[in-house]
Structure 1
Amino acid sequence: MSLHEDAVLVLKAYEGHDEAQRELRDVYLEHLAAHPDGVYKPCEAGHVTGSALVIDPSRGRVLLTLHKKLGLWLQMGGHCEAGDGTLAEVALREAVEESGIASGLTLVPGGPVRLDRHPIPAPCNWHLDVQYAALAPADAVAEISEESLDLRWFPYEEVAAVADTSVVRLLEDTRARLGV
């Protein structure tokens, strides 16, 4: 199965928790139907990305990266690559690469937590982000990557003060899924 086919299956299975998420899912599916290359960066109409919020429920905290180009505190994430087989693999690979947590990260069961579409500069127009959550092991040691200006654990209560609405919603929905 190709990454494109996996993306379609994942999105068809994504029920979303509200009408806005279901409408966004349909936008993603329309994009993929119109663009066979719609999961990869060269697709100028936009492309699917995968991300994961790294969470440590035992300590009530999340790991955010200060994005080098955007200067914003965000979850780990990035572009699909040729060797990726599934969207879940993309999200987990990005979480490992950007967090520096070499082993023990696991995706929260149940598939994507949220979808977030945001504009990006030309020639591409949109990131169609499929957002997962990843559980960090209790002894996780994070190391800053070349893609980040900084990397920091934040208590749940501090996220709204440093991150944008997309990250706050991802954290809220992740906490609801985990019951924490």
Structure 2
Amino acid sequence: MHRQSLLDQLTAYAAKHPEEAETVSQFIDFVASESDCFERSLAAGHVTGSAWIVSADGTQVLLTHHAKLDRWLQLGGHADGDSDVLAVALKEACEESGLKDFEPVGEGIFDLDIHPIPARKSDPEHLHYDVRYLLRATGNTDYIVSDESHDLRWVPLNDVAALSNEESMLRMVRKCGLRLP
């Protein structure tokens, strides 16, 4: 089953984060029951891959001011049929920032979030089942703003709350304090 790798990662994540049991359970149920969960065409929702990119010293995170959603967020996007969600997150990180050199920090999933995406043009409101990986930028950190963003910015972790009060963003800041060496 092409979903098994993600289901295994979700199970491992559940063991590390029992406080997120409800979200993980919903995520597992969705992936297990929807054979097309990686396809953008699945109208109810689909899996997305995101990258929480920190600087080499771990003190800053690269955020995008998302053009369509008009909010500061981590970089990421649709799986478009790719069941290797880490590969999706890495591809999106490169495409949206112009950066090329990253290394995953730690093993497996860094964070999970299920959130609604508003209706737009012919697309109805739907859910993004967002799998997030912690990446460290290891090379040149001079980014390029893509057409998917109004702006990109390296933001000190302590300043993320000034740009976003979304719980999922603040949760990733808190998790950085626990995961970064």
Task: Compute the TM-score of the two structures, normalised by the length of structure 2.
Answer: 0.88
Q: Aligned residue for 2:101?
A: 104
Change (3 A) 1:56 1:160: same
Q: Aligned residue for 1:61?
A: 60
**Per the alignment, in what secondary structure is the counterpart of residue 14 of structure 1?**
helix
Contact 2:106 2:179 survives alignment (8 Å):
no
Q: Aligned residue for 2:89?
A: 91
Contact 1:114 1:131 survives alignment (8 Å):
yes
- Root-mean-square deviation (CA), in Å? 1.8
Identity %: 39
CA offset at residue 33 of structure 1?
2.0
* Structure 2: 5+ residue stretches without partners: none
Change (3 A) 1:59 1:129: closer
CA offset at residue 104 of structure 1?
1.4
Q: Is 1:178 aligned to 2:180, yes or no?
A: yes
Q: Aligned residue for 1:134?
A: 135
- Partners of 2:170 and 2:148 in 1: how far apart? 21
Change (3 A) 1:16 1:162: farther
Between 14-23 and 103-112, the greater mean CA deviation after superposition: 14-23
CA offset at residue 5 of structure 1?
2.8
CA offset at residue 59 of structure 1?
6.2
CA offset at residue 17 of structure 1?
4.7
2:93 aligned partner, one-letter code? A
Contact 2:160 2:170 survives alignment (8 Å):
yes
Between 64-73 and 50-59, the greater mean CA deviation after superposition: 50-59
- Partners of 2:15 and 2:126 in 1: how far apart? 24
Q: Deviations 1:157-177 (Å, cap 9, x if unpaired)?
A: 111110222112112212311
Q: Deviations 1:44-81 (Å, cap 9, x if unpaired)?
A: 22111110111015261111000001111100011002
* Structure 1: 5+ residue stretches without partners: none
- Partners of 1:16 and 1:61 in 2: how far apart? 28
Runs of 4+ in 1 over 6 A off after TM superposition: none
CA offset at residue 18 of structure 1?
4.0
Q: Aligned residue for 2:6?
A: 7
Q: Deviations 1:5-28 (Å, cap 9, x if unpaired)?
A: 322222122136544422211111
Task: Compute the TM-score of the two structures, normalised by the length of structure 1.
Answer: 0.89
Between 118-127 and 21-30, the greater mean CA deviation after superposition: 118-127
Q: Aligned residue for 2:163?
A: 162
**Per the alignment, in what secondary structure is the counterpart of residue 15 of structure 1?**
helix
Say how many residue pairs are matched: 176
